[in-house]
């Protein structure tokens, strides 16, 4: 009887139909909200309460799932890092396999950027928020350098190795400095601060990935060549 009653409360699917999905929903909802807030205000600009309210759960649930606020932040940062870096690694491997000895600076950079720009354009607000967070973390002196190193170094070394094939004369120093310039350009673009919108008085838009993509590749490739070839 009580079973029949409780079955009538949530009928659509019988048994324990949405138990798992509800669990996942709560966890994911917390991550989504935290991602959005952290990307705009940084780690210290967000409170656990604020995340809990926006995700329609209690603060205790956040600690139940993630332990501490810091661990929540790490979970946010890691969730998409693993996905995007696997995609970038695969894109560069595929490019290298297809071109072998004929790799170009432009081709290597395009393979490195393509998964990011695609997710930025078509991945929805979650991915946009995530990339804004990466941009903010990358510029944070206190712990940004360490966090970025932990999650992003392997994919960057793959890019540098690829470009070194295209520019065999290049010194290690020139390659690292050039990458640092590319990294700055990329993460500022990902941060989507609305800076270029205001500066250009509405002519350009931070979120216009189709305008960004070809210019970013051209700019970075020309920069790499000039610095590394010295011409």
Of 26 and 48, the one with the shorter C-beta distance to a second copy is 48
Examine residue 199 and tell whether it contacts a second copy (CB under 8 A).
yes
CA gap 30, 61 in Å, rounded: 9
CA gap 231, 212 in Å, rounded: 26
Examine residue 4 and tell whether it contacts a second copy (CB under 8 A).
no
Contact partners, residue 167, CB within 8 Å, separation at least 6 = 105, 175, 224, 225, 228, 229
CB of 205 to a second copy, least distance (A): 10
Q: Contact positions toward DNA, by CB under 7 A? A: 22-23, 26-27, 46-50, 56-61, 63-64, 67-70
86 CA to centre of own chain: 12
| Region of 18-26, 69-77, 110-118, 149-157 interacting with a second copy (CB under 8 A) | 149-157
Q: Which of residues 82-141 bind a second copy (CB under 8 A)?
A: 132, 135-136, 138-141
Is residue 95 a contact partner of residue 162, using CB atoms and an 8 Å limit? yes
Is residue 115 a contact partner of residue 84, using CB atoms and an 8 Å limit? yes
CA gap 9, 53 in Å, rounded: 26
Contacted entry of a second copy, DNA, none for residue 222, CB cut-off 5 to 8 Å set by kind: a second copy
- Residues within the interface to a second copy (CB under 8 A): 39-45, 132, 135-136, 138-142, 144-146, 148-149, 153, 156-157, 172-174, 176-189, 191-200, 203-204, 211-212, 215-216, 218-227
């Amino acid at each position: 009887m009580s079973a029949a009653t409780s079955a009538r409360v949530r009928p659509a699917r019988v048994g324990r139909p949405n138990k798992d999905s509800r669990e996942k929903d709560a966890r994911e909802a917390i991550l989504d909200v935290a991602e959005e807030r952290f990307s705009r205000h940084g780690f210290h600009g967000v409170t656990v309460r604020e995340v809990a309210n926006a995700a329609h759960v209690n603060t205790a649930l956040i600690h139940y799932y993630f332990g501490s606020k810091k661990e929540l932040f790490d979970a946010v940062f890691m969730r998409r890092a693993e996905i995007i870096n696997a995609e970038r690694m695969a894109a560069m491997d595929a490019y290298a396999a297809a071109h072998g000895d004929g790799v170009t600076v432009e081709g290597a950079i395009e393979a490195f950027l393509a998964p990011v720009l695609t997710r930025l354009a078509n991945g929805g607000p979650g991915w946009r928020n995530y990339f804004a967070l990466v941009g903010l973390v990358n510029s944070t002196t206190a712990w940004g350098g360490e966090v970025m190193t932990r999650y992003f170094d392997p994919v960057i070394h793959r890019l540098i190795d690829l470009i070194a094939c295209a520019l065999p004369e290049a010194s290690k120093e020139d390659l690292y400095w050039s990458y640092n310039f590319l990294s700055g350009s990329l993460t500022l673009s990902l941060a989507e601060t609305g800076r270029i919108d205001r500066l250009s008085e509405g002519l350009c838009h931070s979120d216009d990935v189709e305008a960004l993509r070809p210019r970013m590749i051209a700019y970075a490739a020309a920069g790499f060549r000039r610095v590394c070839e010295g011409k």
